[in-house]
Every structure is written in C-alpha cells, then in structure tokens.
Structure 1
C-alpha cells in the first residue's frame, strides 16, 4: 500500500559576527523515481535568497543559493509532499556471484564497487564479507549483511559524526544510521556487489495515523544491485518501503550532505535540525 507523506525539514546556523557572503548547496528535495513521486517541493531561506536547481553527478536535485547581505543567522526550510510505494519484493532471479564479478558489471558500476572516503575496507571486514557471500546467494546476502552489522553496532546517537568512517564505527561498536549504512556498504562492495548509499527520511511509525504530525528524522540506508537496485535499511532490518523517502544517492555520506557551503564571517553554531513528517494518506 502506498503512502502520501508531507515532510518539513529545517536546519540553520548562527554566526558569531555578521556573515558578508555565503555560498550554499542543499539536498533536501525528494526524488521522483519508479517507486516514489514528489508532488510538491519548495526550499525557502531566511534571509531570503534567489535559488536555482540542478542535478548533480549522482542524480540528486540540488538547490543552490548565495547571500551577499550581512546576516547573523541562516535558516533553510524544505517542505515537500511525496507519494511512496510499498517495499518491492526482493528479487529471486538474480545474477550469481560469478556474474556480478564479470567485466560488464564492473565497468558499469565501478564507482559503487570501490572503497570510498567513508567506506574504506579492512582485511577483517573483507574476510567477513567473503564468508557471508559463501553462505548466501546475492539475493539473501543483503539482509544477511544487515544482520551482521546490527550484531556489531549499537544504535547510539551522539557517539559518531558525519566524518566518522565505517571502520571507526565498527571498532567503536556504536553509531547511528549513517554508520550502519557505511559498514553495510563496506561488506557489500568487498563481496563484489555494487552498492550505494541512500539518504532521505523515514516515518518512524509503520502504523502512522493519517493527519498526525510527528517528529521524523533524516535517515540513511543502502541499495544493492542484484540485477536491479534493491533497498534495505540495516538500522531497522526492513526493506526500504512506504516509510522511506529517497532524497539522494551516492557512494557514501560525502556525496549527499543535506547542506554544504562556505562563508566569510565569524564562527558558526548549529541551530539544530528538525524534521516533521505527516502521513496524509
């Protein structure tokens, strides 16, 4: 059963002294794809700025803007309404491991097979990936990776940051959804499966009441290529479905930050991030 979800995402910064110029990129507009339709999407800034949009290399819609009037706070708010779809059935007629290792697959998906800044491999993780792959078909492998990650990471907010690498979180034994996704990607790529990082939102309740607004969250999960891309949420041990809203995809978090920019002015302090979600239908 499909859902219709309204999302309001607000993030901001306060500066120690007036900022004279700033240049910013924002990735908070949900994508329109096979299993998701964005019905409305706006991005507003305070102070007001003229925005323009483009699609980056990874297929994410970016809202860009710059400000050249002095300001001591910057707040960016995105509002969208999205139609999502029930999680697709996991494919069973999938390539074998030998087929995934073929030159055509490697050529097409090379960027999703190689280690990235946050998903560098480690000999012990490579060995774990090979052992898992030996016991599971590619179709079974993705949820098996999710089980492996959850057995070794405890979900604990505040223990890692956006620049924490997968191996660091693994050694630490705790992290957040970003770390669960990064560690899963290390294993999937080490086994020879193309895998990508997905950033977006998740409605926290599978039995959400229509019309009720609740605190949501930015979220991260993974997609593995098994003849087609199939999404799985290793933090919650579920396939990506109607509760998940896709905003961006890439090799890791560094390709999909919700907000990135440079400015000329005093030191910044985050005003925090709030995400409110409402199931409309």
Structure 2
C-alpha cells in the first residue's frame, strides 16, 4: 500500500517568545515493511541542528527557531510504501537490549488491577500467545472513547475509568506486559483510518505497543483496534512511554502562553 502523510503541528504564543529548540522523531523507521518514497520536515524559520540515530534505531533531528517569534509550524509531508508484516518488526537495526524495556515509568506503573490482568498469563509458556491475550484483555477493559482522558492520564487511571484512547491502551498494555516479565515499548506513528478497519473516532496520529518475543523479535499490538499493525500503519519511533516516544519534544524561551493545534491526514493512493 502507498500512503501519503500531511501532518502540521502549529504552535502559537500570546506574546512573542525569545526562541525555541526542538527534538524531532519524525522520520519513518528504516525496516522491512515500509519504504520511504519521499519525505520532508520543515519548521517555520527553523535552523536544522545535529541529527543522529539513537540506540533504539530512531532518527533524531534537532531544530532551533530564533526569536522573537509568535507562531511556528512544523510540517511533515511524505509518501511511504508499506507491506503487511503481521505485526513483526523486521530489518530494524538497534542496539538497546530488550530487557531495558522492563522498567516502568510514572505513566505505565502497575497497580493491583493491572497486576491482576498480568497474572492471567502467569506461567504461560507460549509468549506470543500470552502477548495476544494481554492485548485482548486491555481492549476489553478500556473502551475507546475520545476525550475521556488527558495526555497525563496514567495506565492505572485509564483502567479504573474503563475508557481512553490509543495512548491509554498502549500504556496499559506496557504496564501489564512488563508486570508479566515481557519487555514492552511504546510506538508512535500514523494510521490510515479510512473504511471499517479502525475504531470509530480514531485519529491518523496513532500509537501502539511492541512486545519482545524471544526467537521472533519485537511484535506490534494495537489494543485500540484489536489487531497487530499491518500495511495501514507507518512506524516513526519508540520509547518507554508516550512522552519518551513523542514525535516532537522541545521548549520555548519566554513567558508566553502556548496554544497547540495539530492536524494529521493519512491517505492511500492508487498504486
């Protein structure tokens, strides 16, 4: 499948800031299953800084914008050819050992309810089946409900509420997988949401989880859509949680109030 992406993140400040610096994880992963045909990231009046590939295999690009500035747009446009790999991440070079992803974060810390979900696969010899079971349990426990949670909602809070979005599903799956002794990480990317393949209300900017299965490698699970990532997905990068894997991270120098608007469109084009 050939997918086009049009992603604009617009920052507005009620008073000019002295400048800002950002770190981007906006380049599609280099792996089997997705091939970049063209891709460009631009920043209004931005100066590209240093870039490197981190231990997880993600391309990190630094940017700075000199001030004073009241509005900055980060624009991503490109085309990617994707093929279905049944959720398995193949051909992705990285140096970080999988066991590093057993550590929890404030967003993915387990509690009694999450531990009870994880206990359902205790002693399960088939790790892949256990991962599928945990993803299914999270899908059942948290109903996809846009607007029910916030960016700061934790996995335990979303589970208690029984509602959430893809970030909450992913955090909950990370929590139960790690509780069960399975390395797991958060993945950010894009999803083609046309047709009946995605949950109602889904957005094109998406997130899911990857769980390490010995002998197979990293396998993606999307509890929000009750499936493994296929050719509708474009993978950008990964981390311990949503904050760690955020496509854009940065800070502005100034006291102005920041307003953020994000628009993302992913479309399939005729091959």
Q: TM-score, normalised by structure 2?
A: 0.86
Counterpart of 1:163 in structure 2 is: 152
Counterpart of 1:273 in structure 2 is: 262
C-alpha separation between the residues in 1 aligned to 2:167 and 2:222?
A: 11
Preserved CA contact (<8 Å) 1:52 1:64? yes
Counterpart of 2:16 in structure 1 is: 18
Range with bigger deviation, 166-175 or 42-51: 42-51
- Which consecutive unaligned segments of at least 5 residues does structure 1 have? 91-106, 209-214
Shift of 1:172: 1.8
C-alpha separation between the residues in 2 aligned to 1:268 and 1:256?
A: 24
**Counterparts of residues 166-245 of structure 1 (less than 5 Å):** 166-205=155-194, 217-226=204-213, 227=215, 228-245=217-234
CA spacing shift, 1:256–1:46, aligned 2, 3 Å: same
Selected match of 1:116 from 105, 112, 120: 105
Shift of 1:29: 1.7
C-alpha separation between the residues in 1 aligned to 2:219 and 2:108?
A: 19
Q: Note the alpha carbon deviations across 1:53-92, whole angstroms, 9 max, x for none.
A: 32234322122111223111011001121121113277xx
Selected match of 2:36 from 21, 38, 49: 38
More helix by share: 1
Preserved CA contact (<8 Å) 1:194 1:224? yes
Shift of 1:47: 2.9
Q: TM-score, normalised by structure 1?
A: 0.84
CA root-mean-square deviation: 2.3
**TM superposition outliers: structure 1 runs of 4+ over 6 Å:** none
Shift of 1:174: 1.2
Range with bigger deviation, 242-251 or 119-128: 119-128
C-alpha separation between the residues in 2 aligned to 1:85 and 1:233?
A: 17
Shift of 1:144: 1.4
> Between Structure 1 and Structure 2, how many residues are aligned?
257
